[in-house]
Structure 1
Amino acid sequence: MTELTPRLSQLAAAHGVATEFSDWQGRHTPATAETVLAVLGALGVDADSEEAVERALADVEREPWSRVLPPVMVATEQDQVVVPVRVQQGAGFEAELVLEDGTRQVLDVVPGERGETRELGDTTVERTDLQLELGLPLGWHAVQVRTGGDTWRMPLVVTPARVELPEVLRSPEAQSWGLMTQLYAMRSSESWGTGDLADLGDAGAWAAGLGADFVLVNPLHAAEPVGEMEPSPYLPTSRRFVNPIYLRVEDVPEVAYLSAAERQLVEWHSDDAKRYLDLDMLERDAVWRVKESALRLIFPQRRSLRRSRAFQAYVEREGRGLVDFASWCAVAQEHGTSWRSWPEELQDPTSPAVEAYREQHAEEVEFHCWLQWNLDDQLARAQRDLLDSGMSLGVISDLAVGVHPEGADAWGLGDALARGVTVGAPADQYNQLGQDWSQPPWRPDKLAELGYAPYRDMVRAALRDSGGLRVDHVIGLFRLWWIPEGMKPYQGTYVRYDHEAMIGILLLEAHRAGAVVIGEDLGTVEPWVRDYLAERGVLGTSILWFERDWDGGGALLPPESYRELCLATVTTHDLPPTAGYLQGVHVDLRHRLGLLERSLEEETAEEERSRDEVLADLRQRGLLRAGAPVAEQVEALHAFLAQTPAKLVGVSVSDLAGDTRVINQPGTDEEYPNWRIPLAGPDGNPVLLEELSTWPSARSLARTVDRSPADRAR
């Protein structure tokens, strides 16, 4: 088909595929038939001819009648749950509700409540609605129906209508502040070349002494275990598991059982890794080779009975997902990290060949399970340490949008992730050709068929041992921009997800973890989405430079007009640290890289105009004196945020250090060392955590956002 006919558009709508959308300027934009057909193909729908479209539409009509129960239902605790049951006309059935705790409740089927029918071949199928009691407990339940000698089971997920703020943030005037850091870049003299979980605990203890309530870290998701490690924490091999480069080797308990000679080897490895602390750029691959060698020395050491049981309990808890991840790591050691280039029999994680490989390399698989267990242990310890230091939230984790298309999740999750398309963003004022993030998206239909289990497991892992979770590009839980392979980013279209299910499950797991949820809602967002997230207790993200009254001419938004449910910050990882932003380093960098769409003079003038407007507002409010140096300007900007009603205020560790270098330059790959920049001071020289903690300038900046003990709702 070469055009978007009404029937093709109807089919696309049935599968959540947009045939038109509004661009960043509000202009109506149609999707092409080529794009729609490719996206439908990625969803397993053949629509290449008018006949195929008619067959696919018939399938849409027939599908719910071909199953006894829906694949899954997600509701809030306040909803009246009505479960449709479809069985052969005249056939009896029994139904029961199985609660998460194992409690069973027989569901009465009242004669006369049966409703509409459909003919499926020679069979007449009749629908009966089961109305469940109001006020079901939160949790992962199931509805079971027995008919004709078979049993059908449907997951029923009951979620909070709203996730409530922790006690410390519930009073109207309450506000907490915390650090934001790229953990790999924040190093101490004890780090093995990159920051680790012990550094996280130390930084948190220091910040808690300054009044901080949380530390927001970059995604700690797993990266490649061999070869070149992807530097971007937002393009991981798995979002469920963690990068072992963050382990502090000396904190693994089995170090105590090393022989003197083995202990000396570990110390040599440590000294070798610490050489990289003096470099201007991070050397992840070199650091991981040294750290992995040390960990492989520790792995065979005997474990106490307590530790052995804890390891076994961890493996059992994580189940098949952990085994698949560890198996991918083992195969990658031999065949490389691109699973599509593996021998064909190893490309399917459920194949007999993979099972045989797993058995033949059982020790290697166990090693990677062991690494994840130690990461789980050290993450838990870091969170305990932060809470013991006086923080009310502790670690706030970060969840990336997607995963590497050749990585462990893309292999292990099978067709739960779509093939032949990638995730990105449509054209906007900053990227007029759009963006391709090279990540396979969730298939909404497969997530439903799987009862959202892969999504739940990922969210649950991200929330474990955390006081909060930041969800990058939270709009992706509503709709994602799918780009067919071979097409340009601007040639994609949106695919919708069941946001009630996606948000509901996120809130259920956050409720159980006692955690706050922060949705990164910058960029092109449908107006109703922010209201919906606020109603359900999800905090938004507000960046000072972008907070303007766009309906009233674009003036800087006054602090009192900020929304209450948000994390307010001056900068983010896609902007320079504040000192660098004030000096226009991002404009100079984009000019050198050929990324400017206007002349350097025009861009510089526009940036200066925007910055001067903000600084003038600060002076008018008495937050900044005329002629103040950059360091005072940075403090004044943060003092501005402290006057907002925002529940959370984040301060970048880079700002505490006075760093100016860009962490990540959007629109580049190897043209700039994204995600490879260690924490540095104003002079560009690397700064270690012990040094930073002694700087009066860092303490002074922290004081600008820390409310007095009498005002802070601890």
Structure 2
Amino acid sequence: MTVPDALLRLAHAHGVATSYTTDRGARVDVAPDTLVAVLAACGVDAATPAAAREALAAHEHRRATRLLPPSVVTRQPETPRLEGLGLPHGTTGHVELEHGAGTAALLDPLPVGLHTLHVRTADRGDSCPLLVTPERLRTPEGRHWGFVVQLYSVLSRRSWGMGDLGDLADLAEWSAREAGAGFVQLGPLHAAEPGPLTDPSPYRPSSRRFPDPLHLRVEAVPEYAYLDGAARHMADACAARARALNDEVLRGGSLIDREAVRALKLSALRHVHQAVPLTPGRAASFAAYLEREGRELTDFATWCALAEVHGGTWQTWPAGLRDPRSAAVARARSELADAVAFHQWLAWLTDEQLAGAQHRAVAAGMPIGLVHDLAVGVSPHGADAWAYQRFLAAGMSVGAPPDDFNPRGQDWGQPPWRPDALAAAAYRPLAGLLRAGLRHAGALRVDHVMGLFRLWWVPQGRPPGEGTYVRYDADALLGVLMLEAHRAGATVIGEDLGTVEAGVRGRLAERGVLGTSVQRFEYIGGSEGRHGPLPPEQWRTDCLATLTTHDLPTTAAWLSGEHVALRARLGLLTRPEAEEKAEAAAERDGWLAELARLGLLPAGDGEADPDAALLALHALLLRTPARMLGVWLPDTTGDLRPQNLPGTSTVHPNWRLPVADATGRPVALEELPEHPLVRRVIQLFPRSGSSPSSRSSPSSRSSPSSPSSRGSRVH
């Protein structure tokens, strides 16, 4: 396969990989038509050799006439030096501080921020973003543990059919006060796509910029209490139907039905919005929120209003409505003013309740509080793809190349950022969504953090294996992340599982970004050349360590082999069932042997107590030096069902299951404090903030029948 020289050079100039190395170390050359398609998504025409030569010449001309690179990144207390930028002799310059805070000379100490660098020679000038970042992010003092949850799955008897922000506040307060937890880690709370979905994944949202009002606790909205007359009757009817729906889920009679919950909540909240005016103080608070969120909120609320009329796929709307800056959209916004105002109000209420949940968590003694999750991308049909379309690569999807775990590769159906457009916008779109995710958080988990360095782009309509990597300005993207986290006083956790380019983990660790370590992947020699479980003392210190994730089997399922049996029942096995069962058993037995070596699982305990191995694995986490320890909430109830079985949206109820016990009976939030297995698990963990050297053996703690001072009902 011969690639024209101009196409190769053009691809390299735009950060498009012309070859890549597989997880097994093999080199793969990227097909020319893939390069042409990816360059086209970056606004570069390379469809013919002549077009490629012309585009290359234009690129080289622009590069030759520019004085500055696309961006400059420096760390405090350093200041940028003109001589380090290769500028002509006699160049002068100054820094325009962000938010109109004035100007500074290049030799002046600069505050952290996203500034603009201006330079001039005798005949021309230039400017570019100048990011001044902290040297390193803060990491938590001592050791902290906390529950890892998908909020929808944690229902209380007060819920409206799925877990909400009131339930989150209760879970955080109980786990902090009674169990000494330091955080609650959440799945993404991003605004979801509207309408019924075959796979309602929180990792494929409509918007990462705003949370979903689906999570609201309706009765906690202050204006709700002042409903009367017909509006009160209608809202109470919604509440009654929602409670019946909730009871059905908790009885185990139905799955979580987001669309039914959404319809009931929005109906009740529309009555509140229409019937109860804001008090002067509340009106002032709402006005301040509108001013703070500005055009981004207006765009989001406008998209929501338009989607109610034209459907949730903006590409099918009338042509004039597909551009958020068009005159047609401005007219529609005016015509739909009430609907736009309603969605702005919902966003404000959700922001308030998120703030309240974080406040209750911290007030209860959590040193970190809420850990929010930033999905790697968004739906191509949703609000962000509409509002930010000029910054996204049309016709491309983010995914992963073929590897041992996914021989065909992966296509996640999410448009990637265009590196050039993001730089031209001084990275403000990225900064805005990071700021939003950090606003009410003590930490932020960044899904697929390797995407700050490069992403696998798949041309639309092609299999994932016919994609290629596109490189980003990692210094700039990491700098924006550090800047926003520094301002929020928050920790950053990078999800760095899977294929990770050499050097990436080291660069992240150097800047204070924690990694993610999952027991199922911690082996001597790594996941490719496994030579037995990695001893706990050899795990990373700067990481969040867990036993499992939302995409993996629960620990009880992994220990029992139920995860293989489930895939067999669904017809998903790629090898004979006996072979897969034997492999799974060998993997499990290797870890059980490691637990025995460490003295965490005395001989015979696994037969005498079926929960002994589960408890020993949690005790194993305490033997690691990890700064943060995550406890998957369904593990503490013995749940055998995965919240998500990747690639099975039509045969498994992904993202619809309430937390349950080993029999599949849902466990309400109010039951958690007195649940025997929950009590045994949480008693293993010392209060957050303790030394990482703290140890606990499952055999040395109280049995399920022992009295516990930590047991308490959630109110």
SS of the residue 2:98 aligns to:
coil
Partner of 1:357: 332
Contact 1:69–1:84 (8 Å) recurs in 2: no
1:676 paired with 2:677, answer: no
What letter is aligned with 1:299? H
1:139 aligns with 2:113: yes
Distance 1:309 1:153, change over 3 A: farther
**What's the counterpart of residue 679 of structure 2?**
699
* CA offset digits 1:400-429 (Å, max 9, x no partner): 011001111111102201011111111111
Percent identity over the alignment is 48
- Distance verdict in 2 for CA 1:594–1:384, change over 3 Å: same
1:623 aligned residue (580, 585, 600): 600
The one-letter code of the counterpart of 2:478 is: I
Residue identity matched to 2:584: E
The CA deviation string for residues 604-648 of structure 1, in whole angstroms up to 9 with x for no partner, is 100100101101111221111333233221110010001110000
1:171-222 deviation digits (Å, cap 9, x = unpaired): xxx2110010000110101111010001000001111120100000000000
CA 1:389–1:696 in structure 2 vs 1: closer, same or farther (change >3 Å)? same
Q: Do the aligned residues in 2 keep the contact of 1:79 with 1:134 (CA within 8 Å)?
A: no
Q: State yes or no: 1:685 paired with 2:684.
A: no
| 1:46 matched residue in structure 2 | 45
What does 1:415-494 align with in structure 2 at a 5 Å threshold?
415-494=390-469
> What residue in structure 2 maps to residue 24 of structure 1?
23
1:287 is matched with which residue? 261
Give the direction of change, closer, same or farther, for the CA distance of 1:229–1:273 in structure 2 (3 Å limit).
farther
**Distance in 2, Cα, partners of 1:393 & 1:89:** 48
Moved more, 139-148 or 238-247: 139-148
Structure 1 equivalent of residue 538 of structure 2: 561
For 2:360 and 2:562, the matched residues in 1 are separated by 37
How far did residue 687 of structure 1 move?
1.2
| Matches of 1:68 and 1:530, distance apart in 2 | 32
Q: Residue deviations 1:76-97, cap 9 Å, x none?
A: 22444245999x999x997432
Q: CA offsets, 1:337-386, max 9 Å, x none? A: 00011001101111000000001111110110110001110000000000
Aligned partner of residue 684 in structure 2, secondary structure: helix
* Structure 2, gaps ≥5 residues long: 695-715
1:254 aligns with 2:198: no
Preserved contact between residue 199 and residue 655 of structure 2 (Cα < 8 Å): no
2:547 corresponds to: 570
Task: Give the C-alpha shift of residue 146 in structure 1.
Answer: 7.8
Distance, in Å, in 1 between the alignment partners of 2:689 and 2:9 is 59
Deviation at 1:101, TM superposition (A): 6.4
Counterpart AA for 1:104: G
Partner of 1:646: 626
Q: 1:466 to 1:153 in 2, by over 3 A?
A: same
2:709 alignment partner in structure 1: none
The 8 Å contact of residues 190 and 202 in structure 2, kept in 1 or not, is answered as yes
Q: Which amino acid aligns with 2:154?
A: M
Alignment partner for residue 563 of structure 2, among 586, 591, 612?
Answer: 586
For 2:301, the aligned partner's letter is A
2:281 is aligned with 1:306: yes
SS in 2 for 1:541: strand
Deviations 1:91-149 (A, max 9, x none): x9974322236453464xxxxxxxxxxxxxxxxxxxxxxxx226421112223468999
Letter of the structure 2 residue corresponding to residue 99 of structure 1: L
Contact preservation (8 Å) 2:545, 2:629: yes
Change (3 A) 1:67 1:352: farther
Supply the distance in 1 between the matched residues of 2:96 and 2:597 (Cα, whole angstroms): 63
Equivalent position of 1:124 in the other structure? none
Q: How has the CA–CA distance of structure 1 residues 144 and 550 changed in structure 2, closer, same or farther, with 3 Å as cutoff? A: same
Q: In the alignment, is residue 192 of structure 1 matched against residue 169 of structure 2?
A: no
1:598 corresponds to = 575
Q: Take 1:692 and 1:233, find their aligned partners in 2: how far apart are those partners?
A: 24
| 1:241 maps to which of 194, 210, 233 | 210
SS at match of 1:323: helix
Match of 2:587 in 1: 610
Distance in 1, Cα, partners of 2:67 & 2:225: 57
Contact persistence 1:95–1:106 (CA under 8 A): no
- Taking the aligned partners of 2:617 and 2:108, their CA distance within structure 1 comes to 49
Summarize deviations over 1:255-276 as a string: whole Å, max 9, x none. Answer: 1321154334322211211222
Q: Within 5 Å, which residues of 2 pair with 1:382-397?
A: 382-397=357-372
Is the deviation greater in 495-504 or in 151-160? 151-160
Shift of 1:302: 0.9
2:489 aligns with one of 506, 511, 514: 514
Are residues 700 and 344 of structure 1, via their aligned partners in 2, closer, same or farther at CA, if it must alter by over 3 Å? same
What SS does the aligned partner of 1:548 have?
A: coil
The residue number in structure 1 matching 2:375 is 400
Which residues of structure 1 form unaligned runs of 5+? 108-131
CA distance in 2, matches of 1:106, 1:523: 43
Change (3 A) 1:314 1:69: farther
Does the C-alpha gap of structure 1 residues 103 and 484 become closer, same or farther in structure 2, counting only changes over 3 Å? closer
Q: Equivalent of 1:665, from 645, 658, 662?
A: 645
Deviations 1:556-579 (A, max 9, x none): 100100110000000100112111
**Alignment match, 1:110:** none
- Shift of residue 227, structure 1, vs aligned partner: 5.2
Structure 2 matches for 1:255-274, cutoff 5 A?
255-274=224-243
Rounded Cα–Cα distance in structure 1 between residues aligned with 2:199 and 2:316: 18
Are the aligned partners of 2:643 and 2:654 in contact in 1 as well (CA < 8 Å)? yes
Q: 1:679 to 1:596 in 2, by over 3 A?
A: same
2:580 and 2:196 map into 1 onto residues whose CA distance is 40
Check whether the contact 1:72–1:449 (CA below 8 A) recurs between aligned residues: no
CA distance in 1, matches of 2:626, 2:165: 28
In the alignment, the residues of structure 2 paired with residue 229 and residue 599 of structure 1 have an alpha-carbon distance, to the nearest angstrom, of: 29
Encode CA deviations 1:257-303: one digit per residue, 9 max, x unaligned.
21154334322211211222223311110111011000101112211
Q: TM-score, normalised by structure 1?
A: 0.91
Counterpart contact for 2:396–2:460, Cα < 8 Å: yes
Distance in 1 of aligned mates of 2:470 and 2:570:
33
Q: Which residue of 2 aligns with 1:121?
A: none
- What is the identity, as a one-letter code, of the residue corresponding to 1:183? L
| Structure 1: distance between partners of 2:298 and 2:82 | 35
Q: Is 1:582–1:630's contact at 8 Å kept on the other side of the alignment?
A: no
Equivalent of residue 612 in structure 2, options 624, 629, 632: 632
3-state SS, counterpart of residue 645 of structure 1: coil
What do you get for the CA RMSD once the two structures are aligned?
2.5
The answer as to whether partners of 2:378 and 2:414 remain within 8 angstroms in 1 is yes
CA distance in 1 between partners of 2:94 and 2:167 (Å) = 51
> Which structure shows the bigger proportion of residues in strand conformation?
1
Rounded Cα–Cα distance in structure 1 between residues aligned with 2:138 and 2:88: 45
Any idea what SS the aligned residue of 1:26 has?
coil
